[in-house]
Amino acid sequence: MYRRALFVGRFQPFHLGHLAALKWILEREDIVIIGVGSSQFSHDPLNPFTAGERVEMIWRVLMSEGLLNRCVIATIPDTDKKHSLWVSMVLHYAPRFQRVYTNDPLSQLLFKEANIEVSPIPMFKRGEYSATRIRRLIAEGKPWEHLVPREVARFIKEIGGEDRIRRIYRAFGTS
């Protein structure tokens, strides 16, 4: 019987900390479902990339790392603050799993109340590898490419992601 786990995040964007976490989980599990959360949002400072863009950047990394046959990508919408529905939403959108890896305290609480096993993930250079920090570096025109897998950097440039993030930060008054 395979051990199967869910690794949940927003991946805005998918960075080297996420990749290190994924590899750490893959040492403990056979199959990892990568759950791309808040999938309905994009074009805001917390969520600049669409669901499809996040799926593509993760897929490119998995291909390059030779992990496509051990990882499945699933997008999971938010429940508009109706938190008691969220675990069911995850169970609907994700292939079946036996445990969840996440450091988000609300997700931990919700999965625990649903009797689903939750484990924390060790932080990999938390100060550096942070999606918030990467988005801000992009908005400010500073170097950020070394913080994400090469495929992600290339992809973000291909789709004009740097320009989009700068405009979003200006639009929302966060630059």
Using CB under 8 A, list all residues that contact its own copies: 39-44, 50-53, 55-56, 59, 63, 68-69, 72-75, 77, 80-85, 87-89, 91-96, 104-106, 108-110, 113, 159, 164, 167-168, 170-172
Nearest distance in Å: CB 119, its own copies: 16
Angle made by CA atoms 88, 90, 94, in degrees to the nearest 5 = 125
Nearer to its own copies, 108 or 130 (CB): 108
Residue 141 CB coordination number (10 Å): 9
The smaller minimum CB distance to its own copies, of residues 28 and 112, is found at 112
Nearer to its own copies, 64 or 128 (CB): 64
Distance CA 9, CA 113 (A): 19
Residue 45: CB minimum distance to its own copies, A: 11
- Rounded CA-CA distance 136/130 in Å is 10
DSSP assignment, residue 146?
Answer: G
For its own copies, the closer CB: 1 or 143: 1
In the bound complex, what is the minimum distance in angstroms from residue 83's beta carbon to its own copies?
A: 4
Shorter beta-carbon distance to its own copies: residue 146 or 165: 165
Closest contact distance (angstroms) between CB of 121 and its own copies is 16
Please report how close the Cβ of residue 85 comes to its own copies at its closest, in angstroms: 5
Element (H, E) at 7: strand 4-9
96 by Cβ neighbours in 10 Å (0-12 / 13-18 / 19+) ranks as: exposed
Distance set, CA 22 to CA 5, 132, 167 (Å): 11, 19, 31
